[in-house]
Amino acid sequence: MLTILDRLPDGLLDGEARDLHRILPGPTLLHLPGLRTAPLFVSVLLHGNETTGLTAIQGLLRKYDEHKLPRALSVFFGNVSAAAQSRRRLDGQPDYNRVWPCADSADGQPEHRMMRQVVDEMRTRNVFASIDIHNNTGLNPHYGCINCLEPRFFHLATLFSRTVVYFTRPTGVQSLAFAELCPAITVECGKPEQPFGADHARDFIDTCLHLDVLPDTPLDAHAMNLFHTVATLTLRNEASAGFAADDQPGHWDITFPPDLDRLNFRELPAGTSIGRLHTDHDPLPLQVVDETGIDVSEHYLYAEDGRLRITRAVMPSMFTLDLGIIRQDCMGYLMERL
């Protein structure tokens, strides 16, 4: 299932994500040499509609077209077939950012075995650091996500953004798997159609290629804003949902405001409404799960006066207006400041 290359395929630097399937046979790991031998690992297109990573890599490699890279670079091009249809994943496919090896994972699907092969390959190459590049569908700042509260991870993250999110769930994500090998980060680069996202990711990769080491010294507390993802919000399978303004009728089980994503990275006081309820529900149409997978909905949500409200002060991230993403993945996350 995995193709491994040691040279740049013709046309890779010019093709768009939807055309990549004509250049690569499928998921592909590309190794390129550099002045420093321990490679920087970068994964792109784990979700086929998140194209900023590909654009960033193309821009970076065009810059070094006539020059050797400062450090060896290994790039994993993920869900090429979904990218051909501009979709997160195809029907019948697992999420390519939920099948990486972790403590409780099994190799039940070909994609699981492929991701383990990628990790094993990079382990033998003594990988220096890992960057997983993503987009999101709502209004969010650019920020980095880490899975380990250690100085090298902090230093890597703050090279991208002062806004840093620590999380341990969902499991099976790329950064969690690579955190066992090296400092690893997921970078969230806004919406895919925003050119600044690709520029930011390209410059971050370039900076990391020039690093000699990532310091193991403590980071100044004022150097970053650190948040902890404490819960995930999902729409229950049987519940219906839609978006409409308060002065418009909503016939769904829950009606979200059309600007729901404006709540992202804002510290919300207890009692904040996140949607209108069509009828009384038990259970509520949204479920909240904590880091251990336990349903903690009653600790975060309650119904009052036809509204679904938050019980305690929290900060949302990745609230989305895309019902497809809400169904396939989640509505978003709740964070607390560390």
Write the pLDDT tens digit of every residue in 199-208.
Answer: 999 999 999 9
Query: What's the pLDDT at 123?
Result: 98
* Rounded Cα gap, residues 93 and 49, in angstroms: 14
Residue 34 predicted with pLDDT over 70:
yes
* Rounded Cα gap, residues 209 and 73, in angstroms: 8
Element counts in the chain: helices (H) and strands (E) = 8, 17
Residue 113 predicted with pLDDT over 90:
yes
Tokens 């679904």 belong to residue: 308
Query: Stretch 70-96: mean pLDDT, rounded?
Result: 97
* Rounded Cα gap, residues 278 and 306, in angstroms: 7
Is domain 3-223 given the CATH code 3.30.56.10 in the classification?
A: no
Query: What's the pLDDT at 279?
Result: 78
Q: For the chain, list the strands marked E by DSSP.
A: 3-5, 28-32, 34-44, 69-77, 129-134, 143-146, 163-166, 184-188, 225-235, 241-243, 254-256, 273-277, 286-290, 301-304, 307-310, 315-317, 332-337
Q: Using 50, 70 and 90 to split pLDDT, how confident is the model at 104? A: low
Residue 40 predicted with pLDDT over 80:
yes
| Averaged pLDDT of the chain | 95
* Rounded Cα gap, residues 143 and 15, in angstroms: 27
Query: What's the pLDDT at 235?
Result: 96
Q: What pLDDT, in 10s, does the model give residues 251-279?
A: 899 999 999 999 999 999 999 999 999 87
Q: Domain map of the chain by residue range?
A: 3-223, 230-337
pTM above 0.85, yes or no: yes
Contacts made by residues 260-264, CB under 8 angstroms, sequence distance 24+? 260/138, 260/319, 260/320, 260/321, 261/137, 261/138, 261/139, 261/140, 261/319, 261/320, 261/321, 262/139, 263/316, 263/319, 264/138, 264/139, 264/140, 264/316, 264/317, 264/318, 264/319, 264/332
8 Å CB contact between 171 and 227: no
Query: What's the pLDDT at 80?
Result: 98
Query: Stretch 218-236: mean pLDDT, rounded?
Result: 94
> What distances in angstroms separate CA 126 from CA 74, 175, 178, one per listed residue?
11, 16, 11
CA angle 233, 172, 215 (to 5 degrees): 100
Query: What's the pLDDT at 282?
Result: 79
Q: What pLDDT, in 10s, does the model give residues 275-285?
A: 999 877 778 99
Residue 221 predicted with pLDDT over 90:
no
Rama region for 333: left / alpha / beta (φ>0; ψ in -120 to 50; rest) = beta
Query: What's the pLDDT at 220?
Result: 87
Residue 242 predicted with pLDDT over 70:
yes
Q: What pLDDT, in 10s, does the model give residues 6-30?
A: 999 999 999 899 999 999 999 999 9
